[in-house]
Amino acid sequence: MKIKWPAPYPGAHWLDAREERAVMEVLRRRSLFRYYGIKKPKYAESLEQTARISYGVKHALGVNSGTGALMTAVAALGIGPGCEVIVPAFFWVATAGVVVRANAIPVLCEVDESFCMDPDDLARKITPRTKLIIPVHMAGAACNMQAIMQIADQHNIPVLEDCAQANGGSFQGKKVGTFGRIGMFSLQWNKNATAGEGGLLITNDSAFYERCISAHDVGIPWVNDAPCLTQPEAVTWGGGHRMSELTAAVGSVQLKKLPSIVNHMRASKLRIKAMLEGIQGLSFRKLNDPAGDTGCFLIMILESADKARKTIERMQADGLLTACRLADYGMHIYSNVPQLVGKVPLSAAGNPWKLPENGHSVFDYRKGACPRSDAWFERSIILPVPSRLNQSQEKQAAQIIRLAVTAA
């Protein structure tokens, strides 16, 4: 049996005439820039308004990408030389990359059986130089934010939630992205809601929000559609991460569809898992809050690395081509990021690694730096759950996985 498995682009499968009408309206109005145009732009503001309502926050800011959102937040937080920033071993390269670009030092934290930041290891990794914690809600599911926030608050360290892979998720009834000082989301092509590219920042801190506006643009907040120096404390160096009206037009429609997209994926994942229950040698990642899982990925744990390899070979041969052993999951795994492993500098000066301010922050990023995480990665398989599966496809996938595990 061989399955034709859909492409793993959640929001893309929900694109329809509504996004098309929004884009065409932007073009007809000839106002592609978010702040002004031939006619007054409206979609960036609409996206931000939808975000404020959806996440239940005071402030939302549209930006050009998820990476741009991370860079804006890190800049607004004042992260720089002499700072250590704790990130999990399972992430996307941008999470560590924005720390390095700020001339700070990323510090790796183990993941636990949830494949998210391990609060116990987080507590061990904090030093007087720790100035930021970035928990990543990986593969659609939330971190244990209660434990993480307790540790962060105890040490008075700000938290930046990376929600790029868990848009629409929650923990204990509260949306991800609303626990820390700031939350970020991605609208990139692979994400639960997409505009092809794009990002969002959300926060309840009004003064910090003003700094984000400055940092994402020209370094000065905008007032009445123009940069205006009304708040000197918000002045910084801008990064040019504005969101365009075309991006906002698609994103504003997609964000309204997000609950439906997530509900569909979660239901498919639950049905597939139910059909796989009881298979000897197969278990699943721990979910810190099953009700808050967005359902976009299924992580399966095998008895050994060898069994995981054999299982993935059979799954792919039978058409589940997007399945991957986590250890081989590209730059989502810390030791697969060559620029991190090799401590590639930003310039010939060797920064940030050779800056005197970072002299006490010497860490190894080669495989083995997070041995408990490595052990999980070696024997685990990740399978994206497409957002428009029918029940026949779900049954076929479950049957393929069952046969692959049994034969391995």
Q: What's the CA gap between 81 and 378, in Å, rounded?
A: 34
73-78 average pLDDT score = 97
In order of 78, 94, 106, 130, 243, the CA distances from 81 in angstroms are 10, 18, 11, 12, 28
H or E element at residue 22: helix 17-29
Query: What phi, psi does 62 have (nearest 5°)?
Result: -80, 140
Q: For position 233, what pLDDT does the model report?
A: 82
Where do we find the tokens 């589940």? Answer: 320
Q: For position 173, what pLDDT does the model report?
A: 97
How much is the mean pLDDT over the chain? Answer: 96
**Chain segment 271-316, per-residue pLDDT in tens:** 999 999 999 999 999 999 999 999 999 999 999 999 999 999 999 9
Q: Write down the H helix ranges in 131-244.
A: 145-155, 206-216
Q: For position 88, what pLDDT does the model report?
A: 98
- Whether residue 320 is predicted with pLDDT greater than 80 in this model: the reply is yes
**Chain segment 190-228, per-residue pLDDT in tens:** 999 999 999 999 999 999 999 999 999 999 887 767 777
**Chain segment 246-267, per-residue pLDDT in tens:** 999 999 999 999 999 999 999 9
In order of 72, 266, 365, the CA distances from 298 in angstroms are 31, 10, 27
**Which residue from 378, 374, 376, 373 is spatially nearest to 308, judged by alpha carbons?**
378
85-109 average pLDDT score = 98
Query: What six digits make up the tokens of 206?
Result: 């009004």
- Whether residue 232 is predicted with pLDDT greater than 90 in this model: the reply is no
Contact of 107 with 130, CB cutoff 8 Å: yes
Q: For position 222, what pLDDT does the model report?
A: 74
Confidence at 329, pLDDT banded by 50, 70, 90 = very high
Q: For position 315, what pLDDT does the model report?
A: 98
Taking phi over 0 as left and psi of -120 to 50 as alpha, with beta for the rest, 225 belongs to left
Q: For position 223, what pLDDT does the model report?
A: 72
Query: What is the value of pTM for the model shown?
Result: 0.97
113-131 average pLDDT score = 98
Q: Write down the H helix ranges in 295-390.
A: 305-317, 338-341, 371-378
- Whether residue 240 is predicted with pLDDT greater than 90 in this model: the reply is yes
* CA contacts within 13 A on the Cβ side of 163: 32
**Which residue from 177, 167, 123 is spatially nearest to 148, judged by alpha carbons?**
123
